[in-house]
Amino acid sequence: MPAISRAVLRFVSLSALMLSLPGVRASAQTALDKQITSVFPDAQALYLDLHQHPELSSHETRTAAELATRLRALGYEVTEHVGGMGVVGILKNGPGPTVMLRTEIDALPVEEKTGLPYASKARTKDDSGRDVGVMHACGHDVHMATWWGTAAIMARNKDSWHGTLMLIAQPAEETITGADKMIKDGLFTRFPKPDIGIAMHDTNGLPVGKVGITPGYSKANADSVRITVYGKGGHGAQPHTTVDPVLIAARIAVTVQSIVAREIKPGDAAVITIGYIQAGTKNNIIPDDAQMGFTVRSYKPDVRQHLLAGIERVAKAEAMAAGAEKMPLVERYESTSAVYNDPVLTQHLAATLEGVLGKESVVTEEPIMTSEDYSYFVEQGVPSFYFTLGVADPQKLAEAQAAGKQLPSNHSPLFAPVADPSLKVGMTAEVTILRDLLKGTPADVKKFTNPSSGN
């Protein structure tokens, strides 16, 4: 028996778990259960295929083509190469609202170490020419397979909804560039602008069968900052003849933490992390310059601006204090805003999900400081609901929590979602949400959102 087939059987053995999960409807006789059962084999096969053929950000050629082909076969109007590798699928089903469902399609430069029989063995050259392993370490393969299964159910059961369904397969989420590129390529001018946007992300922090919701801020603003510190190089034994950029960088690294500790109001989320300081070639040579890499996280726009201004202020002040003749170069080269869930929409859809999954299976989660470029869609005026899907084995998660540990998280080489029944729960959630929103009129949908909300 092929290894993949054995893996499928291992997953199928977990299918019974779905029926025993608290709150998940056990009856296989319901219409939605039957529809999910009918598409599940293809969705699972797609998951296994995507898992073994991951592609890096902005290079998702095979992935995008596969999704586009599958959408066309379902009857969607498909446009490829939107903002690079982006795919847009439109399914019109009479008058009504327009609802967008987005999935990400890129993988990470991570060598998989899960030991699964279907583990990725892919390797490629990254944009800098380094040979790297490639893995769906963030679970985008789960997202895509769920997204396609939902697309199939919606296309094959058009009597259960009306309006326009807009499916987005977004590239380059991991480099927080794909959403912006799709928008700049006319996503909301060449195609209908959605009344509501929906997105999902998997997590090992919740067991299979549960979904997480977060009203308001869900994910953080993220800004990547690079600082080049200029000094005056020379012999390490004669520091008085130099201006030491390594020492300046060290002072900056310490002092910027006072911005969070002493300048940001207690209770406002703020993080400044320095991921690297690079300088010099030899222990007895003081170099001419040093480079520092920052990630800066926040939720509120005013906090974000204070952090960024404060970092530049500290960098220049430390350079002046050291007598540097040239001020540091401060570059902000990657950024995305916080993901904001419309509170009214979130409350409405939480109740909708509770009606299907059970109240105990819909968990309110705290916002987290990771980031997501879905925020670009929100900034275009699309009220949105971004929720999480639990993909952890319940027993393993309970054992880890009892031991005060965590399961391997997204981006770990050991990240291994329980695909079945995660895909089924994900499809149940997405189809339920879409059918709830794709009824009535666009005006009816607007009642589910707060016109004054935003980030």
Task: Show the tokens assigned to 390.
Answer: 């639990």
Q: Which residue has the tokens 């910027």?
A: 256
Helix axes of 419-437 and 140-156: crossing angle, nearest 10 degrees:
50
Would you call 185 a catalytic residue per the annotation?
no
Of 424, 394, 48, the closest CA to residue 207 belongs to 394
Q: DSSP assignment, residue 135?
A: B
- The amino acid that residue 355 corresponds to is G
Which residues 6+ apart lie within 8 Å of 115 measured at CB? Answer: none
How far apart (Å, rounded) are the C-alpha atoms in residues 59 and 47? 19
Helix (H, G, I), strand (E, B) or coil at 384: strand
Kind of pairing between the strands at 362-364 and 211-213: parallel
How far apart (Å, rounded) are the C-alpha atoms in residues 312 and 252? 10
**Active-site annotation holder among 33, 55, 141, 173:** 173
Would you call 112 a catalytic residue per the annotation?
no
How far apart (Å, rounded) are the C-alpha atoms in residues 103 and 169? 5
Q: Which residue has the tokens 């510190």?
A: 229
**Active-site annotation holder among 33, 55, 106, 223:** 106
Q: Which residue has the tokens 């409350």?
A: 347
Handedness of CA 127, 132, 136, 138 (dihedral sign): negative
How far apart (Å, rounded) are the C-alpha atoms in residues 423 and 143? 8
Q: How far is CA 137 from CA 167, 240, 429, 451, in A?
A: 23, 49, 22, 36
Q: How far is CA 52 from the centre of its chain?
A: 20
Kind of pairing between the strands at 211-213 and 163-170: unpaired
φ, ψ of residue 289 to 5 degrees: the values are: -150, 170
Active site (catalytic) residues: 106, 173
